[in-house]
Amino acid sequence: MTDSLARRLEQYTSRRPQEVLIVTAEIAGEEDRVAIFKGYSSSLMRPTAFDPDVTVLPDEAKIIAIDRVASPYNPESPRYIEEGLTWETIQPLLSEVG
């Protein structure tokens, strides 16, 4: 997997460790929520591979929304930086970090 959407989001969090991205996506017809932090992704709704280099979001995933949350992430009381970003609206942020 080269410059896939998942890798770009993981790279973003590697370069901005003070943020967690919570991605709501449709994968194979089912909705999933994925937390991406410090370059690694983990599903919040289903099992995640033990290998941290295996990304959770496949290239064919349809991004529904991306929330930027301050780290550390507390699911009981998340501190949102920005909510409801789309793949298109997050592009400038991804470009900023390279």
Domain ranges, ordered by start, for the chain: 5-85
| Confidence at 3, pLDDT banded by 50, 70, 90 | low
The burial class, CB within 10 Å (0-12 / 13-18 / 19+), for 93 is middle
Confidence (pTM): 0.90
Q: Is the pLDDT of residue 1 over 50?
A: no
pLDDT tens digit sequence for 30-82: 999 999 999 999 999 888 777 777 778 888 899 999 999 999 999 899 999 99
Position with higher pLDDT, 98 vs 78: 78
How, if at all, do strands 80-85 and 30-37 pair? unpaired
